[in-house]
């Protein structure tokens, strides 16, 4: 099985940011929620709160969306073309996506792509509340081990050095830089 990070790896951009901007264009009043980010952002930078708490505060904008499923469908209908062509050519039926992005956001994209296995951050799509930890860094590797005990990925692809723990669980690891595949120097 090949394992892929999502944002800036197989998707050209950051899907969470793109979804937020998409929603703000339809509901500009949600911008007010950004002001609540300042305090927790400072606390995060000072090491006094977690990335999960920071992101949970960010996802409060979800509460402004009346029909989240329709919004997600419309978003992915408009943005599925941001999947890199190299991935479209390389994809396999047993591919795994592992991402810090919310599961609810990536599930429809995975459906478009025929990807059955998604490991992502457990965020409630109605409230923005996390039901677990943000799936990044070491947490990605832990989640992968839980789902596939004793297994290694054949190939792992990511754009981020923070995914080194996951890269170490693969026979081959590749770094994506600007949509181009490069060997990951471990």
- Joined together, the tokens standing for residue 34 give 């950004």
Q: State yes or no: pLDDT of 26 exceeds 90.
A: no
Report the pLDDT averaged over residues 74-80.
97
Strands (E) in 35-168, as ranges, are 96-102, 117-121, 153-158
Q: Cβ(71)–Cβ(23) under 8 Å?
A: yes
DSSP structure class, residue 179: T
- pTM attached to this predicted model: 0.92
Q: Cβ(138)–Cβ(146) under 8 Å?
A: no
Structure confidence at residue 52 (pLDDT): 86
What does the CA dihedral 127, 132, 135, 141 come to, rounded to 10 degrees? -160
Stated length of the chain: 186
Tell me: the pLDDT tens digits for 29-75?
A: 777 767 777 777 888 888 888 888 888 888 888 988 999 999 999 99
Question: What CATH number does residue 11 fall under?
Answer: 3.40.50.1000
Tell me: the pLDDT tens digits for 87-107?
A: 999 999 999 999 999 999 999
Work out how many domains the chain is built from and give that number.
1
DSSP structure class, residue 20: H
Strands (E) in 23-169, as ranges, are 96-102, 117-121, 153-158
């Amino acid at each position: 099985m090949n394992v892929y990070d999502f944002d800036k790896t197989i998707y050209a951009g950051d899907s969470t940011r793109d979804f937020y901007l998409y929603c703000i264009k339809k509901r500009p009043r949600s911008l007010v929620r950004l002001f609540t980010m300042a305090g927790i952002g400072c606390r995060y930078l000072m090491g006094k709160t977690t990335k999960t708490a920071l992101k949970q505060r960010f996802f409060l904008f979800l509460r402004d969306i009346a029909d989240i499923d329709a919004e997600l469908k419309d978003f992915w209908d408009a943005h599925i073309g941001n999947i890199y062509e190299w991935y479209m050519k390389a994809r396999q039926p047993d591919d795994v996506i592992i991402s810090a992005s919310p599961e609810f956001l990536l599930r429809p994209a995975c459906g478009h792509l025929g990807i059955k296995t998604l490991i992502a951050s457990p965020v409630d799509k109605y409230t923005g509340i996390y039901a677990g930890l943000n799936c990044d860094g070491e947490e990605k590797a832990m989640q992968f081990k839980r789902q596939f005990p004793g297994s290694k990925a054949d190939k792992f692809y990511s754009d981020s050095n923070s995914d080194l723990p996951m890269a170490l669980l693969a026979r081959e690891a590749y770094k994506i830089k600007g949509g181009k595949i490069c060997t990951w120097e471990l």
